Chain A
Amino acid sequence: MKLLKFLSGVATALSLALPSLADEKLKVGFIYVGPIGDGGWTYEHDIGRLAVEDHFGDRVETIYKESVDEGADSERSITQMALEGADLIFTTSFGYMDATLNVAKKFPNVKFEHATGYKTAPNMSIYSARFYEGRAVQGHIAGKMTKSNIVGYIASYPIPEVIRGINSAYIHARKANPDVEFKIIWVYTWFDPAKEADAATALVNQGADVVLQHTDSTAPQSAAEKAGGVITFGQASDMAQFAPLPRVSSIIDNWAPYYIARTQAVLDGTWVSTDTWDGIGPGMVGIGDISEAVPEDVKAEALALKNAIASGEYHPFTGPLSKQDGSQWLAEGEVADDGTLLGMNFYVEGVEGEVPN
C-alpha cells in the first residue's frame, strides 16, 4: 500500500514536472517604441524577431510589446515582460536605457540587451549599428543631387546617435558639393507620421529638394512624393515602395544575425554582457539599392565610398575636421575614436544652428 502510494506520488510528480520540462522553451522578449507596421525602425526590429523564431523553431518563443512610450511606462512594460518569464529581453530604443538598467538590477537571472545606449550591467548588454557610415553615403548622394543646395533633415531627439548622423551626412554632402546647406528640424518624437510629414513639407516649403529623416515612419516619403521634385532616403528600412522616386537609396538596419547569435548564446549558456557596434562591414548596416534616378557616375562614387567604409580603408570621421565653433577636432588624417563618437554632442564646422539641450 505504501509502495503504491509512493509510486502514485512519483507518477504525479513526474507528470507535473515533465510537461514543464518539455515546455522549457527560451522566451525572448522585444520592447518596441513604435508599431511593428511603422515601415521603418520598429518594422526592422520585428523582422529580426521573426528571424529568431524561424531559426530556432520550437526551441524559442518570442513575445513583443509595441508602441511603448519612452517615459515611465517603459519600466513597467519591461518589468512585466520579465515577470512573464522572458529569459532574454531586447529593448529597442535609446530612451529605454535607464528603465532597462533598473529592471536588469531587479531581475539578475534575466538577460537584457539595450539598443543604441551606453549603460551596461553584468546582465545587460548594449548593441547598436554604425548608422553614420550609411549617412556618409547618403550625404554624398544628397550633395550631388541637390539643385537648390538645400538639404532638409528631420531629426528626432538631440542624442549622440542623431547628431552623429547629421554630422556624417553634412561632412560628405559638403565634400560632394561645397555650396550645400543643411536645414534641420527637431520633431522630438520617433514616431508621429503626421508631424513627420509636416516637417518634411516645411523643409520643402523652404527650398529643400533633398529630405533626410531620422524618424521611424515612411510619412516623410509620402510628403515628399506629394510635393514632387524632392528626393528622400529610406531610413532604418529599405522603404522600397517609394522607389525610384522620391526614395533614391536607403540605410537598412539588419538586426537578425545579431538577435540569432545572442539567443544562441543564451541557449548555450555562453551569454555575457557585451558592447557591440557594427557597421557596413559586418553587415549590420546595409545600403539599399540606389535607384535609376541617380546618375551612373554618382552611383559609382557612392558605391566606392560604401566599399571603402566597409573594408575599413576609410572612416567617415577622418580629419582635418573642426567643431562648429571653429576649434580643431581632428588633425589631418586623424580618425575619431569611438568614445567621442558615442558621446557626440556638437556639430561639425559649417552646420547652422545649435544642438538643443
Chain B
Amino acid sequence: MTDLFSINIVVLLASLISASTPILLAATGELVAERAGVLNLGVEGMMITGAACGFIVSVHTGSPAIGFIAAAAGGTAMSALFALLTQCALANHVASGLALTLFGLGLSALLGQGYVGVKPPPTGNLELPILSDLPVLGPALFSQDIVSYLALALVIAVWLALARSRSGLILRAVGENHNAAHALGYRVVRVRVLAILFGGGCAGLGGAYISLIRVPQWTDGMTAGAGWIALAIVVFSSWKAGRVLLGAWLFGGITVLQLNLQAAGIAIPVEYLSMSPYLITILVLVILSADNSNAPASLGRIFHAPR
C-alpha cells in the first residue's frame, strides 16, 4: 500500500528543515574553524553541552531565546578550553578535540541530571508577513521557528565574510599558510582563537536546537552523533559554505523524507531507504568536489611563532 497522498507536505517540509538545522549550525561553525587551520573534533561535545545549557537555562527563565544565548555561551566556553589547549599549550588538535567530545558528553550528563522528563518552554514560529499567507508554501517555508532562519542567514553571512571580506581573506590566509600570514603581520593565534570560539558558539546553538525545538526534551547523549555528521559534511563539502548548506539539507532532508516514505509504505526496501541519507549526501558532495578543491594547507598543524 503506497499512500503518498497521506503525507502532509507542510508538516514534512517543517520537519525537513528542523532535521537539517542542527547539523547546518554545527557544520558552519566548524567550517570557519577549519578554514582558519584548526581541526576541532570536539563538535559533538560542544553540541551536547550547548543542548544541556540551553535546555536548563530556558527551563529556568521560561525563555527559549535566553536558552539559545546560554547554549551559544556553553558551546563557546567548551571551545575556549580547546583554544587554550591547542593555541596556548600547543597540544595536538586531534587528541584535544576527542578529549573535548568525551568531556562534553560527561559534563552535559552531569548538568542535565534532574532535567529528564522536564518540558521546555515552546519556541514560537516566526510568521513572515505576507509570505506566510501563501498557500502551502507560506506555512511550509515562511512560518518556521526563528532559529532555522537564523541558521540560514548565518551560512550566507559566513559565505560572504569568507569570500568577500578582508577579514575573511586574513582568516583563509592563516588557514592556508600560517607562517606567511605571520610574516605579513597577522596575529595567527588571535585569528584562530576567534574562529574556534565562533565554531563553539555555533555548535552550542545546534545542540540547543535539538533539545529545545526538534525533540524537545533533555536526554543524556541526545545529539547521538550529529556532531560527527557535521564534521563529515565540512570535509565532503570541500570547505565551501554553499556546499555545507547543500550537504546539511540533503542529509537532514533525506533522513526525514525516508522516514515518511517508510510510513507511507513505499515499495523500496527499508535497507536502501535508511542508508540513502549517507549515500546520497556523500555521492552528491563527492561529485561536486571533483573540481580539485583542497583542504586548507595548514589544517590541524600547530603554529610556533618563529623568532
Contact = CB atoms under 8 A, between A and B. Distances in A.
A, B bound: yes
Interface of A: 34-39, 67, 152, 158, 183-189, 191-195, 197-199, 201-203, 205-208, 217-219, 221-223, 225-226, 239, 241-242, 352-354, 356-357
A225 B119 contact: yes
B112 interface: yes
B256 A202 contact: yes
A222 B263 contact: no
Contact of A206 (B19, B264, B274): B264
A192 B117 contact: no
Nearest to A226: B216
Given A194-B19, A201-B15, A206-B3, A353 B265 contact: yes
A346 to B, nearest CB: 15
Interface residues of B, number: 44
B217 A37 contact: no
B219 A217 contact: yes
Given A193-B217, A356-B271, A39 B263 contact: no
Nearest to B214: A194
A195 B23 CA distance: 13
A226 B119 CA distance: 10
- B interface majority secondary structure: loop
Contacts of B12: 202, 205
21 contacts: A37-B113, A37-B219, A152-B263, A183-B265, A184-B262, A185-B262, A186-B262, A189-B224, A192-B224, A193-B224, A194-B214, A194-B222, A202-B260, A205-B12, A205-B263, A219-B215, A219-B219, A239-B117, A241-B117, A354-B270, A356-B269
B248 interface: no
B145 interface: no
A259 B35 CA distance: 52
Chain A CB count within 10 A is highest, among B15, B223, B224, B256, for B224
Nearest first, the 8 closest Cβ-Cβ pairs linking A and B are A241-B117, A37-B220, A35-B220, A192-B224, A356-B270, A35-B221, A222-B217, A193-B222
B8 interface: yes
Contact of A194 (B215, B260, B271): B215
A198 B269 CA distance: 20
Contact of A202 (B118, B214, B226, B263): B263
Most chain A Cβ neighbours within 10 Å, of B7, B12, B270, B271: B270
Interface of B: 1, 3, 6-8, 11-12, 15, 19, 22, 105, 109, 112-113, 116-119, 122, 210, 214-217, 219-226, 255-256, 259-260, 262-265, 269-271, 274
Contacts of A39: 116-117, 219
Nearest to A35: B220
A197 B263 CA distance: 14
B210 A194 contact: yes
Contacts of A357: 269, 271
A269 to B, nearest CB: 37
A70 to B, nearest CB: 13
A227 to B, nearest CB: 9
Contacts of A37: 109, 112-113, 116, 219-221
B274 A193 contact: no
B6 A206 contact: yes
Contacts of B215: 193-194, 197, 219, 222-223
A36 B210 CA distance: 19
Given A39-B219, A219-B217, A241-B117, A195 B262 contact: no
Nearest to A204: B11
B22 A194 contact: yes
